[in-house]
A = this chain, B = another copy of it.
Amino acid sequence: VSLERALAAVVGDRHALVDPGLRAPYERDWTGRFGAPARIVVRPGSAAEVAEIVRICAQEGAAIVPQGGNTGLVGGGVPRGGEVVVSLGRLDAIGSVDAALGQVTVGAGATLAALQAACRAAGLDAGLDFGARDTATVGGAVACDAGGVKALRHGTARAHVAGVEAVLADGSVVSRLAGLVKDNAGYDLPALLAGSEGTLGIITAVRWRAVPAAPARVAALVPLASAEAAAELLAALRAHAPSLESCEFFLDDGLELVLRHQRRPAPVRRAPMYVLAECAATADPTAELAAALDACGIEDAVVADDTAGREGLWRLREGHTEAIGAAGIPHKLDVGVPLARLGRFLAEVPRVVERAVPGARTILFGHLGDGNVHVNVLGPEPDDERVDDAVLELVCDCGGTISAEHGVGVAKARWLERARDAADVAAMRAVKRALDPAGILNPGVLLPNPAPAAGAGADL
């Protein structure tokens, strides 16, 4: 009880949630697959409060789960049971945008949509976008190195980090928010914290690197016969359309699910596979897109250069998550494979899933240009990991990654040693032990076991 009181004294009673009803929204993830009761949920209002919370927890040896918008899909932002949840939502300030430099300092708790709006108002583009934009936070996006639909052109969240402010496991604060374009004085701790999923520090603010605005946009939804045809189209887009910003894909059974959920007719000829490509530039990029389609002999693409039309096409792609969620609690596996093996992977996934759990339903979609596939499986119980294992084994066989853009979380932690070399995992463990010797930051996430106490170090 004393820990709860000490934390409440830091954030105020209003922001120290001990009542189960108040805690509940912070305790379970969006899909419903992950979560457990927290010891307490605290909502600090400043980096100084975060630092004080961490100092208190460190003293008590209390485990901490940092949480942004709770849109994560690998269980990394919800309690495993009994942790202190530190919700960063109140750290939502967005500084003034330095338009000349293309940078802005943004609180970890600001939503991606809010950052996008601030950049837009300054004539820039945040350069990062994904479906959960209205809820996901910038801190969470950086902590998990989120990807999304623009990574093809602008990189993942990490590419937009010009600096961070973060609280380390001892409550000390590292601040690199000066906004210098070049700064290589010492190790790039912000780059290390990006993608560390809250296991090395709690990001409280980000110095964000935006990209120039590209307001002239055109999108095309293209029905295709096969993954090979999609790969050809991607190559043509790369060759003919320097303005290519997104190149997404989904399959016909996914489209069917989305159309039923959204109660609308198909706006395109039905086919086994669909590619949704968008070009963005300062001047109309329609000719570039058309050249790529022509090069592939494609005549039945649905092209939209107006906002409503484009958004209608994007709803088909982005609607997958919601339509699948409405049909059940999915196993969601975010994986990546080299483009040369994407066709093989897409063909084999349904087979390995069927072998693992007969009757399970597999829905595939994702970011074609990045070789990034979201494997969604409906049917198996949330804690039945046979499907996960089968899919991740196939990914490793294909030379791919068990996590392209969602992170490792608790969902795939035990897979990390299969996905990375022993030397690589040993180095990660050493870094974790160095920065969080007591293992209080997001234990169970990313690395398969809690880091041994400092000094134990036999597995370096």
Decide: B185 and A156 in contact? CB cutoff 8 A: no
Decide: A184 and B424 in contact? CB cutoff 8 A: no
CB distance from A338 to the nearest CB of B (A): 7
Decide: A151 and B195 in contact? CB cutoff 8 A: no
* A433 at the B interface (CB under 8 A): yes
Decide: A194 and B188 in contact? CB cutoff 8 A: yes
CA distance A165 to B172 in the complex (A): 32
Q: Give every chain B residue within 8 A of A291 (Cβ-Cβ).
A: none
Decide: B156 and A182 in contact? CB cutoff 8 A: yes
CA distance A220 to B266 in the complex (A): 54
* A408 at the B interface (CB under 8 A): yes
Q: Give every chain B residue within 8 A of A265 (Cβ-Cβ).
A: none
Q: Which of A28-36, A83-91, A396-404 contacts B (4 or more CB under 8 A)?
A: A396-404
Among candidates B186, B431, B433, residue contacting A424 with C-beta atoms closer than 8 Å: B186
Q: Which of A63-71, A105-113, A255-263, A415-423 contacts B (4 or more CB under 8 A)?
A: A415-423
Q: Which of A12-20, A354-362, A369-377 contacts B (4 or more CB under 8 A)?
A: A369-377
* A52 at the B interface (CB under 8 A): no
Among candidates B147, B185, B188, residue contacting A158 with C-beta atoms closer than 8 Å: B188
Among candidates B168, B338, B367, residue contacting A427 with C-beta atoms closer than 8 Å: B168
Decide: B145 and A184 in contact? CB cutoff 8 A: yes
* A178 at the B interface (CB under 8 A): yes
- What does the 1/0 interface line of A427-460 toward B look like (CB < 8 Å)? 1101111110100000000110000001101001
CB distance from A146 to the nearest CB of B (A): 8
Decide: A170 and B454 in contact? CB cutoff 8 A: no
Among candidates B100, B402, B421, residue contacting A339 with C-beta atoms closer than 8 Å: B100
CB distance from A156 to the nearest CB of B (A): 6
For the A-B complex with A158-B188, A182-B401, A187-B196 known, give 10 more contacts whose Cβ atoms are closer than 8 Å.
A145-B188, A173-B421, A175-B424, A182-B404, A184-B405, A188-B194, A212-B242, A431-B431, A434-B460, A455-B457
